[in-house]
Structure 1
Amino acid sequence: MRFVRESARFACLFAVTGLLVFAGCTKVAPSDQPGAAADSTLKQVLQRGTLRVGDCLTFAPFGFYDKGGQPDGYDVDLAKELAKQMGVKLEVVNTTSANRIPNLQTSKVDVVFCNFTRNLERAKEIAFTNPYVVASEALLVKKSSGIKSVNDMADRTIATVKGSTNGDEVRSLNMKVKIQEFDSSQAAILAVKQGQADAMIEDNNFLAYQASLDPNLTVTDEALVPLEYNAFGVKAGDQIWLNYLNLFLFQINASKMNAQLYKKWFGAEPRFPLNPQY
C-alpha cells in the first residue's frame, strides 16, 4: 500500500510540474511577436542612443529652420524634451504631410510630430498617441481680398497641402471652388501672397502665426470643421512605445510644460481643452 501511495504521489507531482512548465511557456511572448519588448521602438531607441523624430520643418511655428539652419519650433521643443527624458540624442528628420505615414512604416523615423490629425482612415495604417494640441480650420487670405468667410469662396481657388485632410474638408462643404494642392505649407502661403490662390485652408493655430508675420494677410474668424485633435504618430502594433509616449504626454500636460510651450510659440493660452466633454 505504501508503494502505491508513493507512486501516486510521484505521479501527481510530475503532473503538476508538467502543468507549471506548460503554463510558464504559454505566458512568454515570442521575440518576433509585434509589440514584444525585444522589438519595441522604445528598446531600439534606447539601444541606438538616438531618437529620430519626423517633423514638418516648413510649418512654423510647429517646425522650421532657424537662422542658423537648425530645427526649431513648438514640435521641436517637444521632441527635445522627449529625448532629454529618454537620455538619448535627438535627430529631427524633415518630413512632409505626404510622407508621414510611409516614413513610419519603413522605420525611417521612430515617431512623427507634424500637426498630425487623428482620424479613422489613418488609424488603419498607423497608431496615434493621446492628443497634445487641438485646433479647428480657417482660411488665410489677403486683407484686400474682401473674403470674410468660406461663403465668399464660390468660384475661387483654395490652396491645400498634399497628404493633408484639408482637401477632403473643402470637398465636404459642397461648394463650387477649385482646390489646388502644394507640396508644402510655405508653397501654399506663397500662392496666396502671389495671387495664385485666393485662400489657404489650414489649422487656425498655424494660420494665426503666419498672419502675424505679414500685415497683408489675415485669418477668417470661423471654425470650418469640428475640432481636430493632433497627436504623435507611431508604427502600428507597438503598444510598449505607444504607452511610453502617452505617459510622456501625461507628464508634460500635468506639469503645464505643454501649455507653456504653446504660449511661447503662439502667444496665447491653448484655446481648446485636450479632453473634450461629451
Structure 2
Amino acid sequence: MHSKRSLLIRSLVASAALLAFGAGTAHADLLKDIREAKKIRIALDTGSPPYGFVDDAMKPVGSDVETAHLLAQDLGVAIEIVQTTSPNRIPFLQTGKADIVVASLSVTPEREKVIDFSVPYAQILAVVAGPKGASIKSFEDLKGKRVATTRGSNNDKVVTTGAKDAQIVRYDDDATLVTAAVSGQADIIATSPAIVSTVLAKSPQKDLEQKFVMQTVPLGIGLRKNEPELKAWINDWVAKNTANGKLAVIYKKYHGGQ
C-alpha cells in the first residue's frame, strides 16, 4: 500500500516538475505565426500628423505609415493596418489586437515594464508651444496656465509631472489637439514639433511658437513581451534600414529638417 502511494506521489511530483519546466521554457513565436499567416497587423495612429494621417484620397500616409509598409514589405508579408489612438497603443498589443505598434511610441521606463521595444528607429522631442509674446521658458512659467496635450501620450506624462501647478486639458488624439489649437481653444500646448508645424500649416497666421523642450526621447516599435525572434528580426531590420538611409529618407520626407 505504502509503495503504491509512494509511486503515485513520485509520479505526481515528476509530472508537476515537467509542467513547470515546460511553462518556464516555452514561449510564443509570433514571427513564425506572422510568416505563416502572410500578414502582419500593425497598429498605426492616423490622427497624429505627420506620423500618421489620412490624405485627400482618404489613404493613410505619414512617416510611421510608410515605415510600417516598408517593414511588412521586407518581411515579405501583407500589412493589415489597425487604427489606434495614443491611449490604445499599448492595450492593443496586450490584448492581441495588433502584432506590433508603429505609432510615435516613445520609449519610457514605465512602458518597458509592460511591453518590449525595438532599438530606436527615430527620435521625438516633447515641447511646449505658446503665443509668441508669452514669457514661457520652463515648467515654472506654466503655473496657473491652461495647457493642452494628448491624453495617454508621453507629452501628457512629462507635462503633468513637470508642470504640477498648471491646468492640464487632455484631448483624445493629436488630430483633436490640432483642431483645438487652430480654433483657439488651446493657446498653450505640450506636444511634438511636428504637431506645432501642423497647427501652423493649417493656420499660418496663428500666434504660436515653440517655447522650450521638455524632453528628447527615442521612438521604438512596440511589441509584446517574450517574443525574442520577432524582436531580433525587427532590431536587425531597424539597423539595416538606418545604415542604408531608408528610414532617414522617410523621416525627412514628412518632418523636414527636424
The residue type paired with residue 214 of structure 2 is: L
Question: Which amino acid is the alignment partner of residue 224 of structure 2?
Answer: K
CA deviations 1:211-236 (Å, max 9, x no partner) are: 234213333142122x2111000001
The C-alpha deviation readout for 1:248-273, integer Å capped at 9, x for no partner, is 100110001111111111122xx5xx
- Count of residues paired in the alignment: 236
* Contact 2:137 2:211 (C-alpha < 8 Å) held by counterparts: no
Structure 2 match to 1:67: 56
Residue 219, structure 1, aligned to residue 209, structure 2? yes
Q: Is the 8 A contact 1:138 1:201 kept in 2?
A: yes
1:129 counterpart = 2:118: yes
Identify unmatched segments of 5+ residues in structure 2.
1-17
Q: Which moved more, 1:159-168 or 1:205-214?
A: 205-214
Q: Which residue of 1 aligns with 2:235?
A: 246
1:147 aligns with 2:134: yes
Instruction: Name the amino acid aligned to 1:62.
Output: Y
Structure 1 residue runs of 4+, over 4 Å off? 29-34
CA contact (8 A) 2:40 2:72 kept: yes
TM-aligned CA distance change 1:40 to 1:172, over 3 Å: same
Cα distance in 2, alignment partners of residues 72 and 238 from structure 1: 28
Deviations 1:34-84 (A, max 9, x none): 54xxx3111111111111110111001100112222211100111111111
CA deviation profile, 1:130-165 (whole Å, cap 9, x unmatched): 11111222223355xx33535553322111111112
- After superposition, the Cα gap between the structure-2 partners of 1:90 and 1:150, relative to the gap in structure 1 and judged at 3 Å, is same
- 2:224 — aligned with what? 235
Map of 1:53 onto structure 2: 42
> Is contact 1:189–1:200 with CA below 8 Å preserved after alignment?
no
Give the match for residue 83 of structure 2. 94
The structure whose Rg is larger is 1
**TM-score, with normalisation over the residues of structure 1?**
0.78
- Residue pairs, 1:157-168, within 5 angstroms: 157-168=146-157
Asked if 2 retains the 8 angstrom alpha-carbon contact of 1:142 and 1:192, the reply is no
Measured in 2, the distance between the counterparts of 1:133 and 1:210 equals: 22
Cα 1:78–1:267 shift into 2, 3 Å: same
Identity %: 27
Q: Is the 8 A contact 2:130 2:211 kept in 1?
A: no
Q: What residue is the counterpart of 2:249 in the other structure?
A: 260
CA contact (8 A) 2:49 2:194 kept: no
The one-letter code sitting in structure 1 at the alignment partner of 2:118 is T
